Amino acid sequence: MERRPKIAWIVFAAIAAFYLWTEHRAHLLGVLPFLLLLACPLMHLFMHGGHGRGEGDQGHQDKGGNK
């Protein structure tokens, strides 16, 4: 790709991003509290690996040297 078309695309993308941000800022920022609430159960599922998979306490072994 030549240099001029690449610069034109970057300028176009910057202008489009500016207008999208200025026109839809209220919508985007208004949804943030709901995204935080949605993140809680998703983090629980992905961080704990879910519940009831029949793994028992295999992932929680005693690391103190007691066997």
Helix (H, G, I), strand (E, B) or coil at 13: helix
Structure tokens at 9: 């695309």
- Answer whether residue 44 shows pLDDT above 80: yes
What CA–CA distance (Å, rounded) separates 29 from 27?
6
Model pTM above 0.75? no
What CA–CA distance (Å, rounded) separates 60 from 14?
49
What CA–CA distance (Å, rounded) separates 2 from 8?
10
What pLDDT score does 13 carry?
97
DSSP code at position 50 = -
Q: For residue range 3-35, list pLDDT tens digits in order.
A: 999 999 999 999 999 999 999 998 888 998 999
